[in-house]
Amino acid sequence: MIPAMRPVIVAGNWKMHTTPAEAGELAATIARRTNEPDVVRVLCPPFVSLAAVRDALEAEPGAGAVAVGAQNVHHETTGPYTGEVSAHMLQGLASWVIVGHSERRRDAGETDELISRKVQRALDTGLRVILCVGEQLEDREAGHAADLVRTQVRGSLDGVDVAAIAPLLTIAYEPVWAIGTGRHAQGSDAAAMAAVIRATLGGLGFDDRGEEIPVLYGGSVSSSNIGDFMDEPSIDGALVGGASLKPDEMAGIVARAGLTARARAQR
Ligand code: PEP
C-alpha cells in the first residue's frame, strides 16, 4: 500500500561536471525533454552552476517546475571553513540538497555523525534533503548490507527532530558498488532495502512506520533499467548520476517514472 502523498521523484546528480554556461543550457534542455507534471524533477549541478541552472529553469516556464538541488552542504552555519558552503548561502539558489553521498563519505571522510549535522543544517533552513545510504560490495558479500544501511540511517538522523524532518526527507538507497560502474542492483534488492530503511525509520519514531518517506534507488540507473525499479511499489524514483547528463536518457527515465506516478494517482 503506497500512501497517496508519496511522490515519484527523479533527481539528477551532475557531480563535478558542467561549467555554469554548460549547466544552464543542459538544464533547459532536460526541462523541456522531461515535462512530466506528475514527476518531481530535481537537478543538482555543482555549486558554481546553481545560479545558472536556477535562471535557465526560470526562463523555461513551459517546461513545468524543475527544482534545483545542491550536492552538499556544510555542517556549520558560518565560520572559518575555507571553500565550504552553508545551508543559509543556498537559500534562493537551491531548494533541495544531497547529503551523505558515498563519494563524499569516501573522499571527504564524511561520517554518519557529521552527516546528521548536515541534515540538521538543511532542516534549519527548510531545504529538502536527499539522504544517501548504501553498502560497499564487501558488506553485501558478507551478508551485512542491511545492518550497514540500518546503521547509516540511524546515525545520519541521530538527534534530528523526526517530526520536523519528515516532510523534507527523501532517502536514496545507493549501493556503492553500483555507482558509476554500469552494474545496477536488482529491483527486488532495492525493494528489500527500502523495507529495511522504512523499518528503521519506524524505529526512530517516523509516522506510519516510515511509509510516508520517499525512497529512491541510485546506482547506474538508465532509461533501459529504470523500469526494474519503478515496477517496485516501495521505490519512489531514482537518484541518477552519469545518465542525468544526457538529455535522451533523462527523457526516457522521467517518462518511465511518469507512468508509475500516473498509475499511483489513479489508485
Ligand atoms: C550518483 O551519483 O548518485 C549515482 C547514482 O551515479 P550513477 O548513476 O552514475 O551510478
Q: Which domains does the chain have, with CATH numbers?
A: 8-265 (3.20.20.70)
Asked whether the beta carbons of 120 and 160 are under 8 A apart, the reply is yes
Q: Kindly tell me if the per-residue pLDDT of 249 is higher than 90.
A: yes
- For residues 67 and 51, give the distance between their C-alpha atoms in angstroms, rounded to a whole number: 12
Percent of the chain with pLDDT over 70: 99
Q: Which DSSP helix (H) or strand (E) runs through 134? A: none
Are the C-beta atoms of 13 and 241 separated by less than 8 Å? Answer: yes
Asked if residues 148 and 177 have their Cβ atoms less than 8 Å apart, the reply is: no
133 in ligand 1 pocket by Cβ < 6 Å? no
101 catalytic? Reply is: yes
| Residue 66: strand pairing partners | 41
Residue nearest to atom 2 of ligand 1 (CA): 241
Residue 267: pLDDT band (50, 70, 90) is confident
pLDDT above 80 for 60: yes
Whether residue 71 has its Cβ less than 6 Å from ligand 1: no
Is residue 144 part of the annotated active site? The answer reads no
